Structure 1
């Protein structure tokens, strides 16, 4: 078994606490499902948010999903001119039998434009 990194991102429509938590929960669950993982497989998770998202810590969504024994950390993305607004990114480390090429990365809504080469087809809301 190896430790692999899974990437994901979602662009939110607005910076509202409920909307942010719902979007992050959806993204995180889709990342786990796409890679046939569960919470016990997780080693740690890093959440980042663009500077325009201030309504809640994205990691709260994972805690609400019951992830109480997984180390979680939030950070702010660099504020680069012209970058996509209202984006939460997730970098999750998990123990898995999947090889690097088998890992499925999930990009939802407008965030699909960030890495079209990696994105799993899915929700384009």
Structure 2
């Protein structure tokens, strides 16, 4: 089956180092919690809020050696009052797991987005 796994995190500063480091933490946890290897991952879509422009979060995946996975970065819709400095991920994967067994991951300030999962 193909499922989408959601994840999000926040950074405190708009720096390339922090964007890449926090995205890498998020991707590692998403992979670990769902028992994934790169070959299981079809593609990953990254979005960032308008206040993050120092780096593409996809660099984190490439730095992890995920060189054969399709990656795309986009801007999140700028909704007034929404969470700032947020990186969101949608990872499409091949897995034998049931949908109810998929583990979505929310870190740092992004935990407020899905308190039911954190």
Using the size of structure 2 for normalisation, the TM-score is 0.98
Q: 1:58: Cα distance to partner? A: 0.6
How far off is 1:118 after superposition? 2.9
Q: Secondary structure in 2 aligned to 1:28?
A: helix
Whether 1:31 and 2:33 are equivalent positions in the alignment is: no
Aligned to 2:43: 44
How far did 1:67 drift?
1.1
**Residue 60 (1) aligns with residue 59 (2):** yes
User: Helix, strand or coil: the match of 1:88?
Assistant: strand
1: distance between equivalents of 2:116 and 2:71? 27
Distance 2:5 2:56 in 1: 20
Q: Secondary structure at the match of 2:22?
A: helix
* Structure 2 residue aligned with 1:123: none
SS in 2 for 1:82: coil
Residue ranges of structure 1 left out of the alignment (5+ in a row): 120-125
Tell me the TM-score normalised to structure 1 length.
0.92
Residues 82-93 of structure 1: matches in 2 within 5 Å? 82-93=81-92
Number of aligned residue pairs = 118
